[in-house]
Structure formats: C-alpha cells, structure tokens
C-alpha cells in the first residue's frame, strides 16, 4: 500500500513541478530578455541565433527557477490532496504527515544535490556562452537601412544620403535610389571627396563567401578638393562626370563576429566553485601582502605619519630642534612640512582606493562562492515551506499557491540582497550575509511543518476568531 501511495504522491508532484518549472523559467527568461531587447533591434538576427541565445540564458536562469518551481509545485500538490480530503483519509488510516512527505522529500534532496552540481559545472559554462554571444550581438552593426533625406554613416569611411529610396517589388531584386550624395571619408581628410548622382541601383552579392554591397550610379559627377600648396592659394576642385560608375562596399562589419570565450572567463559568473575558492585564497594573500608592504614603506619614508615620537628623518629632526631652540618658523619650514603632509595625504588616498578595490574583490569572491550553495539549498528549504503549507491551507490550483510562492520568494530574494549588501559594506561577515536568508527559510519551514503535523488551522478565519474570543473572555475573567 505504501509503495502505491508513494507512486501516487510522486505522480501528483511531478506534473505540477514540470509545469511550474517551465512557466517560471519562461517568466524569468522574458524578464531578462526585455532588458536586452534594445540590442536586438535592426540586427537582422536569424532564428538560430535567437534559439541559441534563449537556450543559454534559460540554462543559466534554472538556478533561480528551480527553488520557486519546487515551492509552487509542493503547495499545489499537497493543497490538492487536502482540498479533495485525500490527505485526511491518508492520516485517518494511521499514516503520519512526515511519511506522506517522504517520497517527495527524497526527490527534492536529489534535486538539491543535482542543483549543487549544476551550479558548479553547468551554470558557469552557460553564462560564458550566453554573455559571449550577447556581446557578439551587441557589437554587430544594425542592418543597412537608408532613410530618405538622412545621411547614413554605417558604412566605414562613407556617408550616404538619398532623396528617395524605391524598394524592389520582389524580394531579392535591387533597390533604386534617387538623387544620391556620397561623401568619401576613407582617407580621413574631411569632406574633400563628393559624389553626386541622379539615380543608382543598390544590391548585395557574395564573392568567395563574403558579402558585399554594390551601388551602380548613373548620370553623376565626382568632385575632389585638391590640397593647396600654400595658405594664400585659392581652393581648387577637380570634377569628373560619368554616365555610369560602380562603388563596392565590404559588408564585413555588418556580420556577427565570434569573440573568443577566453576573454570572458575572468568574471566570477563564469567560474566553478573550485576556481572561486582559489581566487578567494589568492586575493586574500595578495591583500595581506599589500597591507604589510604599505605599512612598511610608509613607516620607512614617513615615520612621523605612524608614530610622532619616533622621528628618525634627519632633516625633520634638525628642523624641529631649531624650532624648539629659536622658537622661530621660517617659510622653508612651513613649505617643507606642507609638502611632507601633502605627500602622505596623497599616498593614503591612493592606497585606500587600492585597499577598497582589493577588499571588494575578496568579498565578491566569497559571496559568489557561497551563493552557489545557498541557491541549491534553497530548493530543499522551499519544499519544507511549500509541502506543510499546502497541507494546512488545503487549496490547490494556481490561485493561493502562486500568491504564497511570490511572498516567500520575495522574502528570500530581499533578505539575500540585504545580506550581500551588508557583507559588501563590511557590516557583517560574508558567510552570515549569504546564509541568513536560508536560515530564515528553514526556520519558517520547520515551523509550518510542526503546525501541519498537529493539524493547525493557521489560515482559517474561524480559528483566529475563536482565539480572540478566548483572549477576551480570559481578560474579562481576570477583571
């Protein structure tokens, strides 16, 4: 019976879990892509590029979608069992709530272990491919689009303006341009070369696998300003008329170039936990050596900056002795002291900035290392919240579970952001800042599990009404 019950509960859980996982992943992916939508406009990207980009970003967003999907699926599964009195019947047969939760709990434990492996191995590679591809898309030039009466500067070394552009009736045929003006800036000599034509035919073609743009001009003139031998000489122009002339532009800059992924591997998002740990140790040693060398060099060159009683600099000692004996300060004494103080001030400011930068790198390495584990453990914490809450509220579907899931996910996200902020500001230890949100979730999970074990009615209005009447009655009895 118990094996059949385990299969029943697992079957009830897997359906909502897969459904909510893809829904949550789609929402997160849509929200992420909306921020990057401006980089896709006018780039003439194929569906294969979009599919590759969405796949990599969906893979990297799995670490955030998995905890929320487990929470929502747990609420729906045990809420449905409670709503249809199946959970009540199971308890009436002598099976405890913990035993009912065991099959899904074991599955969630395996999901947590898988999330640890995923965040360590797959997540960095997905980020590396996603952001390198996004960089290639951002660097790709927009599609060639000539607008009437506006100069187009997308072609390297040329500015083109056409009074009117007539698109071809059929796709693949050349477009017609009327009253064309082309400035040649390829020699970086300013507006010294100008081409005017009454009409032109514009078309793209491929040669040896490379794309080119060909504009065949008709009835035009080519003007060139000649360099003057002396400033007093008059400006000389050269003009050549033509019936037809062809200009060919390379479209290499409009293609999407593949950037080497090695250029992005320095970011913490693209590193495994082992690499993050090595970087943390390396930055810590570098930071400690920097502090020791800084203090040693500062004390050796400016001993009065650290200890005013230990003055070893000969010139400063003589100056001070002369001041004490004569009680007279000369301009050179003031100037010497001011220069020394200013030098120490600039050294302290520069080293403080360096120290702040190294400390920030060290804290970021610690935070990114522990976040890989906190996001994974959050899967188990969300199950401990969702399963007993579903058994308490006894509501399935996507109404109440979605609302409760959003509340607890916001609590998790906000507490995690606050903890990271305090850790970066050196208010709390980075480990405390990372794991505080998980401790809060586990505390809430064990509390709801205890209340569900005793069949508490936390979300029934009658429960609180009766509780309030008892408090009022007890208060009046004391009076």
Mean pLDDT (the chain) is 77
Q: Please indicate, yes or no, if residue 145 is contained in any of the structural domains.
A: no
383: helix, strand or coil: helix
Q: Confirm whether 146 is domain-assigned.
A: no
pLDDT in tens, 99-131: 888 889 999 999 999 999 998 888 888 888 888
Structural domain tally of the chain?
3
Task: Say yes or no to pLDDT of 42 above 70.
Answer: no
227: number of Cβ within 10 Å: 9
pLDDT of the residue at 66: 92
Give yes or no for a contact between 72 and 24, defined as CB atoms under 8 angstroms apart: yes
- Whole-number percent of the chain with pLDDT over 70: 72
Looking at 335, 369, 403, the residue that finishes a domain is 369
Among the three residues 254, 279, 309, which one is the final residue of a domain in this structure?
254
* Residues 47 and 129 occupy one common structural domain: yes
| 272, pLDDT greater than 50 | yes
Please tell me the predicted confidence (pLDDT) of residue 315: 45
Q: What are phi and psi of 375, to 5 degrees?
A: -65, -35
Instruction: Report which of residues 224 and 307 the model is more confident about.
Output: 224
The mean per-residue pLDDT over the stretch 263-288 comes to 77
pLDDT of amino acid 379: 92
Range of lowest pLDDT (109-123, 185-199, 454-468): 454-468
Asked if residue 380 has pLDDT above 90, the reply is: yes
Cβ–Cβ < 8 Å for 225, 237: yes
What's the pLDDT at 442?
92
Q: Is residue 479 part of a domain?
A: no
In terms of pLDDT, which residue wins out, 304 or 164?
164
Q: Which residue has the higher pLDDT, 358 or 232?
A: 358
pLDDT at 236: 65
Worst-scoring range by mean pLDDT, 21-35, 164-178, 276-290, 339-353? 339-353
Q: What is the pLDDT of residues 287-320, one digit of tens each?
A: 777 767 666 666 655 554 444 443 334 444 444 4
What domain range includes position 227? 158-254
- Tell me if 262 is assigned to some domain: no
Please tell me whether residues 24 and 53 are part of one structural domain.
yes
pLDDT of residue 311: 38
In a domain, 7, yes or no: yes
What number is the average pLDDT over the span 351-380?
Answer: 82
* Eight-class DSSP state of 234: P
User: 181-190, 217-226, 284-293, 337-346: which has the highest mean pLDDT?
Assistant: 217-226
Q: Which two tokens stand for residue 455?
A: 């069949």
How far apart are alpha carbons 215 and 179 in whole angstroms?
Answer: 13
Buried b (16+ CB within 10 A) or exposed e, 359-384: eebbbbbbbbbbbbbbbbbbbbbbbb
Q: How confident is the model at residue 324 (pLDDT cuts 50, 70, 90)?
A: very low
Residues 176 and 199 in one domain: yes
Q: What number of other Cβ atoms are within 10 A of residue 118's Cβ?
A: 19
Q: What is the mean pLDDT of residues 19-36?
A: 88
Q: Pick 43 or 432 by higher pLDDT.
A: 432
What pLDDT score does 309 carry?
Answer: 40
Residues 12 and 133 in one domain: yes
Q: Read off the pLDDT of residues 225-258 as tens digits, 9 standing for 90 and up.
A: 766 555 555 556 677 888 888 888 777 666 656 6
Section 74-80 average pLDDT: 87
Q: Is residue 153 one of the residues assigned to a domain?
A: no
The predicted structure's pLDDT at residue 327: 46
Question: Is 454 found in the same domain as 427?
Answer: yes
> Mean per-residue pLDDT for 384-390?
87
Question: pLDDT class for 325, splitting at 50, 70, 90?
Answer: very low
Residue 444: inside a domain: yes
Per-residue burial over 134-171, b = 16 or more CB atoms within 10 Å of its CB, e = otherwise: bebbeebbeebebeeeeeeebbeebbbbbeebeeeeee
| Sign of the alpha-carbon dihedral angle for 45, 46, 50, 52 | negative
Are the C-beta atoms of residues 382 and 70 closer than 8 Å to each other? yes
Q: Which of 51-60, 83-92, 208-217, 339-348 has the lowest mean pLDDT?
A: 339-348
For residues 392-396, average pLDDT = 77
279 vs 245, residue with greater confidence: 245
Contact of 201 with 176, CB cutoff 8 Å:
yes
Residue 300 sits in the same domain as residue 379? no
Region 82-95: mean pLDDT is 79
Residues 291 and 409 in one domain: no
- Do both 21 and 52 map to the same domain? yes
Tell me: do 288 and 340 sit in the same domain: yes
* 149 inside domain: no
Q: How far apart are CA 419 and CA 429, in angstroms?
A: 9
pLDDT at 82 over 90: no
pLDDT per position as a tens digit, 417-452: 898 888 888 788 888 888 999 999 999 889 888 888
Do 328 and 210 fall into the same domain?
Answer: no
**pLDDT reported for residue 377:** 92
Residue 163 pLDDT level (bands cut at 50, 70, 90): confident
Q: Are residues 32 and 129 both part of a single domain?
A: yes
Report whether pLDDT(460) > 80: no
CA distance to 43, 61, 464, 468, 469, per residue, from 461 (Å) = 57, 38, 5, 11, 12
Which residue, 369, 390, 405, sits at the end of a domain? 369
Same domain, 36 and 127: yes
């Amino acid at each position: 019976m118990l094996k059949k019950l385990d299969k029943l509960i697992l079957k009830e859980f897997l359906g909502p879990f897969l459904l909510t996982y893809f829904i949550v992943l789609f929402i997160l992916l849509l929200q992420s892509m909306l921020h990057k939508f401006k980089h896709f406009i006018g780039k003439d990207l194929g569906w294969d590029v979009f599919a590759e980009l969405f796949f990599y970003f969906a893979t990297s967003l799995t670490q955030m979608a998995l905890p929320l999907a487990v929470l929502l699926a747990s609420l729906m599964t045990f809420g449905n069992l409670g709503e249809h009195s199946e959970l009540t019947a199971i308890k009436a047969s002598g099976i405890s709530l913990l035993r009912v939760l065991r099959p899904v709990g074991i599955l969630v434990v395996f999901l947590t272990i898988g999330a640890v492996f995923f965040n360590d191995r797959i997540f960095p590679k997905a980020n590396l491919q996603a952001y390198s591809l996004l960089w290639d898309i951002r660097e790709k030039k927009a599609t060639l689009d000539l607008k009437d009466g506006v100069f187009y500067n997308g072609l390297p070394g040329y500015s083109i303006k056409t009074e009117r552009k007539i698109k071809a009736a059929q796709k693949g045929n050349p477009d017609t341009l009327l009253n064309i003006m082309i400035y040649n800036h390829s020699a970086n000599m300013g507006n010294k070369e100008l081409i005017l034509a009454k009409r032109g035919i514009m078309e793209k073609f491929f040669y040896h696998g490379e794309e080119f743009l060909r504009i065949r001009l008709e009835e035009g003139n080519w003007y060139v300003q000649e360099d003057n031998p002396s400033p007093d000489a008059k400006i000389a122009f050269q003009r050549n008329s033509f019936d037809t002339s062809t200009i060919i532009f390379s479209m290499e800059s409009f293609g999407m170039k593949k950037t080497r992924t090695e250029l992005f591997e320095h970011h913490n998002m693209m590193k495994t936990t082992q690499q993050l740990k090595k970087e943390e140790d390396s930055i810590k040693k570098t930071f400690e050596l920097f502090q020791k060398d800084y203090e040693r060099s500062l004390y050796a060159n400016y001993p009065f900056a650290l200890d005013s009683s230990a003055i070893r600099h000969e010139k400063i000692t003589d100056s001070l002795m002369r001041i004490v004996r004569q009680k007279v300060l000369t301009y050179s004494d003031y100037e010497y002291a001011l220069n020394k103080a200013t030098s120490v001030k600039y050294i302290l400011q520069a080293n403080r900035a360096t120290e702040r930068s190294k400390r920030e790198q060290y804290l970021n390495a610690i935070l990114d290392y522990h976040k890989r584990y906190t996001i994974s453990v959050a899967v188990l914490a969300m199950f401990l919240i969702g399963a007993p809450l579903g058994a308490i509220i006894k509501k399935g579907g996507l109404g109440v579970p979605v609302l409760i899931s959003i509340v607890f996910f916001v609590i998790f996200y906000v507490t995690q952001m606050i903890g990271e902020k305090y850790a970066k500001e050196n208010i709390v230890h980075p480990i405390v800042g990372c794991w505080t949100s998980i401790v809060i979730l586990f505390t809430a999970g064990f509390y709801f599990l205890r209340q569900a074990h005793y069949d508490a009615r936390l979300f029934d209005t009658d429960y609180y009404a009766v509780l309030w009447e008892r408090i009022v009655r007890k208060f009046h009895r004391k009076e």
